[in-house]
Amino acid sequence: MLGVNHKSAPIDVIERVAITGEAMTKALHGIVTRDNVRETVVLSTCNRTEVYVVAEKFHGAFADVRDFFCEQSGLSVDELLPHFYSQHDDAAVTHLFEVASGLDSAVLGETEILGQVKDAWEIARTEATARTSLNLLFRHALEVGKRARNETSISKSTASVSHAAVEMATDILGSLSDRRVLVIGAGDMGAGIARALANAGSRSVTVMNRSRERAELLATTVGATVSHINELDAALAQADVVLTCTGSGEAIISISQVQNAQSIRKNAPLLIVDIAVPRDVEHAVGEVAGVTLRDLHDLRDWAQAGIDARQQEAEEVRRIVGEEVERFNQEVKSRQAAPLVAELHERAESIRRAEIDRYAARLAALTPEQREAVEAMSKSVVAKLLHSPSVQLKNNAGTPQGERIAAALRDLFEIE
């Protein structure tokens, strides 16, 4: 696994490496066709872009993915490497499980990341860049994320970026109930913001989106009004609070638009919270009179205050992650050993069957019940004899000891 996230890089670097929309399909195939990569899943969110690969050679795959990041971002190797991190084997498994559990999020325990992990995996499965190994890993990661949230309180209180954005806005302005709020974007993040506003008692919410149908669907569920993105200038002039998260890939709110809006509003206070990556709002907008601009960097600083209260839950989640890494490794070992275990049982069954047939004449006088007893007894003997070598194969799969056990069993049972 190789990536860049909110801990390793500033937001402008995260924006440069982010992969959105239709670019994801191109990225998956651009990675999996490289010399040292057999499978890949790309997880790109507002806080991270991480590439998970099954590699032919670690160092070769590292170079392949590093080069991809440079091509994607336009950054040189020297510019990228200080912000770049990598994990392999158990460390990579642990990292993904922690990501799915919300331990590695800017908002500790956030719930949105689990859906983002699922979406990333499903796209890779659809494009056939995730196959046997990564399918097993990501299926298990989703199970870990669900278990962490079911067995602990890690996701209680502020547990999503969208809810945190609304809570931060409330901290800055006080109650939002009488504020005119504009939500730009009707995707998962926008839906989370709209629900959080409804829960906070906001009475004047407008949902704006390029797809009016999607905006109307969301607005209906939270009692909001609808506006099209083409009406942005007029909406800015009417809003007290703007929360934006379109994922459009480029800024949709310029300094000139906000200056015009503020001219109409006579520089009345306007709070803009931009949680999109890449950012929806030009950075210079924060310099306009009357405007307070907050982005993901500010949100992370604000959310840090709530992290300490959930550290005890985080420790319990880490314990769960440790258990699940061990369980995952055991499942991988079992799958590695499965073909030889199956061959071993097939070989033993053929011997058992041959011996039953060899004594068929002597068993001819047996009643059906007695013949069933002989069958059951002989199968039981075979199963008991093979139990220990089968367990040893599974427990030692992928190790030098496992290879020695496998070689010995192939020789003893004449398995090719």
| Dist. CA 184–CA 242, nearest whole Å | 7
- Cross-sheet strand order for the sheet of 241-244: 225-228, 204-209, 180-184, 241-244, 270-274, 291-295
Q: Any idea which residues carry the catalytic annotation?
A: 46
| Dist. CA 48–CA 43, nearest whole Å | 7
Check if the beta carbon of residue 98 is closer than 8 Å to that of residue 1: no
| Dist. CA 183–CA 193, nearest whole Å | 7
Per-residue CA distances from 275 to 13, 74, 195, 294, 393 (Å): 15, 23, 16, 8, 50
| Dist. CA 338–CA 322, nearest whole Å | 24
Amino acid letter, 378: S
| Dist. CA 27–CA 8, nearest whole Å | 22
Catalogue the long-range contacts made by 215-222 (C-beta closer than 8 Å, 24 or more residues apart).
215/186, 217/186, 218/186, 218/190, 218/191, 218/194, 219/194, 221/194, 221/195, 222/194, 222/195, 222/197, 222/198
Q: Which of 242, 78, 276 is nearest to 173 (CA)?
A: 242
- CA 319 and chain centroid, separation: 19
